[in-house]
Structure 1
Amino acid sequence: MSTLLPLPVLLAWSGGKDAAWTLHTLRQRSDVEVVALLTTVTAEYERVSMQGIRRAVLHAQARATGLPLLEAMIPAACDNAVYEAAMAQALDDAQARWPGLRSIAFGDLFLQDIRAYRERNCARAGWQPLFPLFGRDTAALAREMIAGGLRANLCCVDTQQLDADFAGRDFDAALLDDLPAHVDACGENGEFHTCVRDGPMFTAPIALERGDTVLRDGRFAYTDFGLT
């Protein structure tokens, strides 16, 4: 009797809680195997795009997962065409390194337009997108993450949706209790982004030092975190 090998999967890794919990979720399954992480990095800033996580922290996260990291480099002034070309090249590189790899997982939770956008791009490239957390109740999911040992900090806050004072705070039960009612518990509407420092997907915690919080583009409050 033949035994089916697990499906190799590439994971879109932002350095935040949703990507980290997606990795943890996939590792509970026997039918898939995450073989690598893929992150979009803004070349001029050497930081994860949108999250603003330092590249050194990103690499420490990858080491803690025990997985190789692929980086899609994009310019600071990046339109959809440039982004999609960089991602397509990264997927080609991944397939060349892992023959048979044609599936990529995302940590999206409930935004149908984002899911449809990823599905279209993956279809053009001949890849299969996976959404292991999609449709989960985000209030329950946020508390499940915390109870499961995930530790993270808010590294970016959209001040048009949430007060800048939340930037830098621990993603914990106290934070969830303090969030205004209109803010999603997982920040799925872009209210905030996180930087993960520990959790069941890591072999060891990452020691981070909190730096300054600065306002960018008159809207986004970024709190810098570096390795200690």
Structure 2
Amino acid sequence: MINEKFVMSFSGGKDSILALYRMIKLGYIPVALLTTIKKEEDKSWTHGLTKGLLLKVSESLSIPLITVECNVSEYETKFEEALHKAKELGATICAYGDIDIQEHMNWDIDRCTSVGIKAKFPLWKENREKLVYEFIDTGFTTVIKTVNLKYLDHKFLGKKLTEELVLKIKETDADICGENGEYHTFVINGPIFKSPITFTEKGKVVDNGYAHLIIE
């Protein structure tokens, strides 16, 4: 058993959940989920999840939530402030769900270095397709929350990510894992959840080339 404490950089999507699951299985102890929220808006960056939904996930996982409310200009500073909070809780590591985009990894490492903790990447450089199937086969349930309309039709919104749906995504020539932003997901159940996350669909909206499922 490792018993080293970590904070999870958490989007609510499949990659961060899979990374969290792997860390826990290895014996690391999560002290918090760290999620960035758009300043003066009740939604997270990239995945557009309300604070209420994130708190539901936090409760189901039995892991406290640290929210970073910020705009673009203060994103780095506020993220590091949140890492300091996690460090006070005993975290010596921040784990990330990034797979193979070097620019993202560099940013993550810089934030951790500035605060004096380690950065860990449980999924780094693994095959994207295998990771998607591992996520599904492990028993997690996720719905597609956002799609990039350059790659995927808005009809994918709200669909559960199954092996059959993965094949349909593959047929569009979009990246099967959505690592380049082709789609984002919201994980609602799985082996580390005490209970499934319930939500209400409030419609769909198109903004700047992306279609989003509005849920509360």
Normalising by the smaller structure, the TM-score range is over 0.9
1:170 alignment partner, SS class: coil
Structure 2 unaligned segments of length 5 or more: list them: none
Once the two structures are TM-superposed, the CA of residue 181 in structure 1 deviates from its matched residue by: 5.2
Aligned equivalents of 1:202, 1:140: Cα separation in 2? 22
Residue 133 (1) aligns with residue 123 (2): yes
Structure 2 distance, partners of 1:111, 1:42, is 23
Q: 1:10 — aligned with what?
A: 7
Identical columns (%): 27
Runs of 4+ in structure 1 deviating by more than 4 angstroms, as ranges, are none
Deviation track 1:105-147 (CA, whole Å, cap 9, x = no partner) reads 0001111221122112221222210000111211111111112
Among residues 196, 210, 214, which one is paired with 1:220 in the alignment?
A: 210
Structure 1: segments with no counterpart, 5+ residues:
none
Q: 2:189 aligns with which of 187, 190, 198?
A: 198
Contact 1:40-1:71 within 8 A present in 2 as well: yes
What does the per-residue CA deviation read over 1:142-195, in whole Å, with 9 as the maximum and x for residues that have no partner?
Answer: 111112111111111111232222222211112101013532222001111001
Q: Distance in 2 between matches of 1:172 and 1:34?
A: 28
Give the aligned length. 215
- Mark the structure with the bigger radius of gyration: 1
Cross-structure match for 2:64: 68
1:48 paired with 2:39, answer no
Structure 2 residue 153 is the aligned partner of structure 1 residue 156: no
The answer to whether the 8 A contact 1:208-1:225 is kept is: yes
User: In structure 1, which of residues 145, 165, 173 is the aligned counterpart of residue 135 of structure 2?
Assistant: 145
Partners of 1:151 and 1:91 in 2: CA distance: 28
Match of 1:210 among 191, 198, 201: 201
Indicate the SS of the match to 2:94.
strand
Q: How does 1:44-193 map to 2 (within 5 A)?
A: 44-75=40-71, 78-79=72-73, 82-96=74-88, 98-99=89-90, 101-179=91-169, 180=171, 182-193=173-184
Note the aligned Cα RMSD (angstroms).
Answer: 1.5
